[in-house]
Amino acid sequence: MAKVSIERLKKQFGNSVAVSDFTLDIADGELVAFLGPSGCGKTTTLRMIAGFIEPTAGTIRIGETDVTPLPVHKRNTGMVFQRYALFPHMTVAQNVSFGLEMHKVPAAERDTRIRTVLDMVRMTELRDRYPRQLSGGQQQRVAIARALAIQPKVFLLDEPLSNLDAKLRVEVREEIRSLQQRLGLTTIFVTHDQEEALAIADRMAIMHDGKVQQVGGPQELYERPANLFVADFLGKMNFFRGGLDGTAFTTEKGTRIDAQGGVANARHLGVRPERVYLTVQPGQGNTLAGVVESAVYLGSLLEVRVKLDSGETIASQVPNGASRHDLPIATGTRVYASFQPADCVLFSE
């Protein structure tokens, strides 16, 4: 395996800049997720790393080798595409063998590698079937096996789970993570799904409009987002506009909220809904009075929206089991929304 170093990578199509000044170091054996909305540049970046798209500027190193000028087949990367890209006229084993043949791997070694990777993805018994005879999850496992068979230095996955149903996405996601850790594969995983990235990545690079907004571990990015885009894209957050005076933030409606961690020229304050607790008596920390406006059922959670006395709105996510007991969730109920200063995040933009 190998580390990956990307420095000031840029891609411009005509007058449109798809990726701008992308710089990132990925450690040997690390799984990094490129996360962002459609059109943010994450797939373009992945394809530049793989060699399918030529950068306008910047360098890409795999290990100690500058692969920027090298063609795809000389980069030793294994790619799994969103639509699997299996050959319909080839069996499972033949699909896996294809990359090995392109790399001129001897027949005896090819057979060994095919058996090994099909066993890894639990597809040995289906080696003689054709793609049309496989489920979506099975086709994805074949695509993964084909990418792993060439023993790549870097494993690249472009939205690999987007065509699977919700339950199967979780199953295959866990299999990919298990394989990656077992093999120690340096891996880049492109997705627009926040939950997917949080569950699978060692680190995430969040992208927007072709630029990296923040890089860090899942917990760091979720709890301490660098800007409003990251905070809003990575889960839900309550936002208040206003200004900071010492350690207190005063909203435009005059609500005073204590916060920790000064940010120069703070103009927004955010707090995650799951950090907001509802009670019928004033709680500890920041306590804002209001009336329950709505409660939306989300399966394991209820999202309760409270209209504050100031006219502002705050949301709280309440565990569904707890809501059946003594929590005030009925519409029109007078409540207090409480949260700690340490759970507040300040933003300057």
Is a pLDDT exceeding 50 seen at residue 211?
Answer: yes
Domain positions in the chain are: 4-229, 238-347
Q: Which fold has domain 238-347?
A: OB fold (Dihydrolipoamide Acetyltransferase, E2P) (2.40.50)
The answer to whether 94 and 86 have CB atoms below 8 angstroms apart is no
Residue 253: pLDDT band (50, 70, 90) is: very high
Residue 325: pLDDT band (50, 70, 90) is: very low
Does this chain's domain 4-229 share its CATH topology with 238-347? no
pLDDT in the model for residue 46: 98
Residue 326: pLDDT band (50, 70, 90) is: low
% of the chain exceeding 90 in pLDDT: 77
Q: Which fold has domain 4-229?
A: Rossmann fold (3.40.50)
Pairing of strands 238-245, 211-216: unpaired
Is a pLDDT exceeding 60 seen at residue 280?
Answer: yes
Q: What is the model's pTM?
A: 0.90
* C-alpha distances out from residue 102 to 73, 97, 294, Å: 8, 9, 60
Bigger pLDDT: 42 or 104?
42
Is a pLDDT exceeding 80 seen at residue 300?
Answer: yes
Is a pLDDT exceeding 50 seen at residue 330?
Answer: yes
pLDDT in the model for residue 323: 54
The answer to whether 176 and 191 have CB atoms below 8 angstroms apart is no
Is a pLDDT exceeding 90 seen at residue 163?
Answer: no
Residues 76, 110: Cα–Cα separation, whole Å: 16
The answer to whether 126 and 139 have CB atoms below 8 angstroms apart is no
